[in-house]
Amino acid sequence: MYHKAIIDIQGQSGNFYDFRVEDKDRRAGKFYYDCRGGDDGDWVTPVTIEGFVMVNFVGTIELDKAVTWPDEDHECIEINEDNIRWGE
């Protein structure tokens, strides 16, 4: 099933897609990040934004600017009410 939502993260709005946007389908000038679902059996709700997700992948985020990773050694941002807003 295809779903697109608007997200706000780090002061910018972007798109969330509930599928993996393949390299060939990515628009030039945009930044793409994978979202990981949790280990609690919820296979729909993203809990992190990462550079690449293989296990527990739940979707792709498309942004105009690169995100700032909170820790330069780990490309991972936890998703919570303080750093992301979901909309349609």
Q: pLDDT tens digits, the chain, 88 residues: what are they?
A: 456 777 888 888 889 898 999 999 999 999 999 999 988 877 778 899 999 999 999 999 999 999 999 888 888 998 887 777 777 5
pLDDT recorded at residue 75: 85
pLDDT recorded at residue 36: 93
Beta carbons of 48 and 78 less than 8 angstroms apart = yes
pLDDT recorded at residue 1: 43
Q: What pTM value is reported for the model?
A: 0.86
Max distance between CA atoms of the chain, in angstroms, equals 35
Domain positions in the chain are: 4-87
